[in-house]
């Protein structure tokens, strides 16, 4: 397995791959020690392109986790010709549910139209299309995973609550879907084992919820006061922070259950937050 862009989610996948007998290589810009700690051989990118090209040539499976930038998809830009000559049995691309845009709190499935409402969502739609074109040209089974908001150890609300920087922003009707990083890894493993034809999957839990509910529950778990409510319309926020509230939708995960047989470890935010707290050594 070659993981192009070995980030947070890949850190949960690599140990599962190793347990299943895979040799794993992961590219990183600077976190060589973290990649190695997860059980993967680290390769610097940029820096070790020749070795990466060699891994592409002999990979049985490739996971693309690098996000698109202003110039488009960085993996296709750097290694497109190498990938055209590769023969992976499985290729996965980590995308985002941001490709669906704002649905006013309504449900979306993998068949819903792609109507992104942020520049990040537009970039992901374009990247998905570029990978699909290359997969059709090369004859690969491409699997696209549209991830909801990711949380897990080190990526929960507890540190901000303890530091007094957590905010409870209230926007009527706002709901988000989320997914624990361990469940992302389990979905990817199920797809790798299935080795089926290309597919698109939403990866999220069962329980879309308003963001203020998550903050309130997390505060109760660690016995801290509830942060004051702030009206979204008047709250001071950076453009980036405000953009996360531009979309409200409920994302269906029925397909990963039906086609990949997934039973989520953390089907809702109470179970996920409890697990994060325990993993961080406070549960």
What would the pLDDT profile of 138-175 be if each residue is shown by its tens digit? 998 999 999 999 999 999 999 999 999 999 999 999 99
Condensed to tens digits (0 to 9), the pLDDT of residues 203-262 reads: 999 999 999 999 999 999 999 999 999 999 999 999 988 988 999 999 999 999 999 999
Entry pTM: 0.96
Domain with residues 2-155+178-204+250-265, CATH architecture: 3-Layer(aba) Sandwich (3.40)
Tally of CA atoms within 13 A in the half-sphere of 195 that contains its CB: 5
Q: What is the pLDDT of residues 176-185, one digit of tens each?
A: 999 999 999 9
**DSSP, residue by residue, 58-77:** H-SEEEE-PPPBTTB-HHHH
Segment 23-36 shows an average pLDDT of: 96
- Burial label, 65 (beta-carbon count in 10 A; 0-12, 13-18, 19+): buried
């Amino acid at each position: 397995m070659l993981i192009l862009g070995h980030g947070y989610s890949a850190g949960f996948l690599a140990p599962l791959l190793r347990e299943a007998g895979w040799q794993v290589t992961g590219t990183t810009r600077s976190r060589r020690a973290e990649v190695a700690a997860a059980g993967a051989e680290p390769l610097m990118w940029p820096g070790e392109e020749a070795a990466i090209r060699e891994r592409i040539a002999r990979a049985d499976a490739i996971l693309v986790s690098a996000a698109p930038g202003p110039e488009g998809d960085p993996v296709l830009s750097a290694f497109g010709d190498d990938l055209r000559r590769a023969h992976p049995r499985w290729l996965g691309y980590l995308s985002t549910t941001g490709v669906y845009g704002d649905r006013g709190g309504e449900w979306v499935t993998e068949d819903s139209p792609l109507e992104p409402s942020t520049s990040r969502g537009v970039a992901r739609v374009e990247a998905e299309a570029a990978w699909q074109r290359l997969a059709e040209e090369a004859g690969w089974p491409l699997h696209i995973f549209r991830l909801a908001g990711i949380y897990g150890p080190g990526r929960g609300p507890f540190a901000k609550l303890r530091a007094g920087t957590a905010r409870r922003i209230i926007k009527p009707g706002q709901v988000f879907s989320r997914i624990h990083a361990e469940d992302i890894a389990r979905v990817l493993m199920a797809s790798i084992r299935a080795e089926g034809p290309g597919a698109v999957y939403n990866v999220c839990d069962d329980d879309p919820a308003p963001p203020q509910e998550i903050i309130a529950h997390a505060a109760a778990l660690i016995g801290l006061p509830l942060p004051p409510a702030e009206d979204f319309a008047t709250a001071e926020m950076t453009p980036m922070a405000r953009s996360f509230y531009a979309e409200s939708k409920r994302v269906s995960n029925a397909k990963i259950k039906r086609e990949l047989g997934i039973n989520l470890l953390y089907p809702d935010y109470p179970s996920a937050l409890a697990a994060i707290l325990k993993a961080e050594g406070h549960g």
